[in-house]
Amino acid sequence: MRIYIGNLPYSVTDDELRGIFGQFGELASAEVIRDRVSGQSKGFGFVDMPNHSEANAAIKALHESEMKGRKLTVNEARPRAERPRSGSRY
């Protein structure tokens, strides 16, 4: 199950996400989303947990918990919505 984590402190690393969610079970991946140019965190990330019951336990335990003074939003990730392609046309 893919889990969305929002309102992350900008200083959080992939390893910190692994540590927090790893308490609930096996992780396939953990990633803080970063700006392509600056490398700065965008304040959200994703964790993939193969076991749905462990993933649900993590969501229940961590949603609205506090991390470095910020209240986290944790829920099952939704598929990315289709967006119109950007680009200039001359």
Q: Which two tokens stand for residue 57?
A: 């336990």
- The model's pTM is 0.87
pLDDT tens profile 15-58: 999 999 999 999 999 999 999 999 999 999 999 999 999 999 99
- The domains found in the chain, sorted by start residue, are 2-76 (3.30.70.330)
Nearest one of 37, 47, 39, 43 to 17, comparing CA atoms: 47
